[in-house]
């Protein structure tokens, strides 16, 4: 349990995103280990599946800092011009 909390805090500090709330997203087994995941509707957001106890996982939604978008390939928030392999519905050439 302590390891899970520590990993979550490290991820939060690394991405410096703003935690918003839970989102309707199915955190499958193993999704905690795969790192941040792209939000299905907004390229400025990403999801981290957090393990509570045992096998219970909840999705937490985060917002990239102003002016940044989430790059699914790199799994980081980056400048729009540097985002790699954008996933639909995000269009990195338009204003997100």
* Predicted pLDDT of residue 88: 57
Sign (positive or negative) of CA dihedral 22, 36, 25, 58: negative
DSSP for 15-75? H-PEEEEE-S----TTTTTT--EE-SS-TTEEEEEEE-STT-EEEEEEEPPTTEEEETTTT
For the segment 16-50, what is each residue's pLDDT rounded down to a tens digit?
A: 444 455 566 778 766 556 678 888 888 888 988 88
pLDDT surpassing 80 at residue 61 = yes
For the segment 65-75, what is each residue's pLDDT rounded down to a tens digit?
A: 988 888 988 88
pLDDT surpassing 70 at residue 14 = no
The average confidence (pLDDT) of the chain is 71
Cβ contact 60:22 at 8 Å = yes
Alpha-carbon distance of 67 to 75, in angstroms, equals 16
């Amino acid at each position: 349990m302590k390891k899970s909390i520590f990993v979550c805090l490290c991820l939060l500090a690394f991405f410096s995103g703003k935690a918003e709330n839970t989102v309707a997203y199915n955190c499958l087994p193993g999704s905690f280990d795969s790192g941040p995941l792209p939000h299905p509707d907004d390229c400025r957001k990403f999801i981290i599946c957090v393990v509570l106890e045992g096998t219970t996982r909840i999705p937490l939604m985060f917002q990239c800092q102003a002016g940044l978008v989430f790059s699914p390939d790199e799994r980081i928030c980056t400048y729009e011009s540097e985002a790699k392999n954008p996933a639909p519905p995000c269009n990195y050439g338009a204003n997100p």
